[in-house]
Amino acid sequence: MSELLFAAAAGLPMAAGWSLHALRLRRRIETARRDPLTGLFTRDAFAERAMKVLAGGPSAVYVVDLDRFKEINDTYGHAAGDADIAATGRRLAEWADINAGTVVRLGGDEFAAVARVFSHADLSWTLVELTRAIEQPVTVDGRPLTVGASVGAVAYDPRADDVALSTLLRLADEQMYAAKRSGADWLTALDLTPQAGTVNNRRVGRPGTAGGTEAAA
C-alpha cells in the first residue's frame, strides 16, 4: 500500500507539469487565432464561427470600413490610429455578442461580421446600432477623435439560399464600397448576385487588383 502511495505521489509533479504545459499550449493557440491589436478572431477562426451562425438561421453578413481613418493617422500619429482600431474592435465585439454573431478584422481599418437577423426591419435596426456604436468618439491623450464608417450588408436565409461565405462577403463588400462612394452610412444588397467583376479574387477597384484604385478611407 505504501508503495502505491509513493508511486502516486511521485507522479503528481509530472501530472502537474503536463497540465501546465497543456494550459500554455492552449493559450498560445488561442493567441495565434486572434488579432494582436483588437483581440478579434483571425480569418480562419472567424470563418468557422461565421458558417455556424449562417447555418443556424436567418443572418446577415457585414463589411465595415472606417471613414477619415487615414486623416487621423496622418494628423495625430499611428498611436491615435491604433487606439481607434482597438476601440472599433471592442465595439464591434460587443455588438456581435448582443446579436449572436462574430466579427473579424480583415486588415487595416476594415472589419467583417456575421450576426443573426430575423427580418429586413431587424437588419436595418442592427445597421443603425452598428454605425452608432462605431461613430462614438474615442479619447486619445485627452482629445476626442471621431471616425465614421461605411457599411455594406447582405441578408441570408439558409432555408432558401445556398451561398458561400466568400460570396456573401463579396456582396457586402460591394455595398460597403457603394456606400462609401455615395456618402451613405450603409447600404444592403437587394439580391445574392454579385454586381462587380473580380481580379485575383478581389473586387475590381480594390487595392491589390491590377491597376485598381479605391476611394481613400
110-130 exposure pattern, b = at least 16 Cβ within 10 A, e = fewer: bbbbbbbbeeeebbeebbeeb
Count other Cβ atoms within 10 Å, centred on residue 91.
18
Cβ-based neighbours of 209, under 8 Å, separated by 6 or more: 198, 199, 200, 202, 203
The yes-or-no answer on residue 191 being catalytic is no
Give the CA radius of gyration of the chain. Answer: 22
- Choose the catalytic residue: 65, 67, 109, 173: 109
CA–CA gap between residue 173 and residue 123 (Å, rounded)? 16
Tell me which residues are annotated as active site. 109
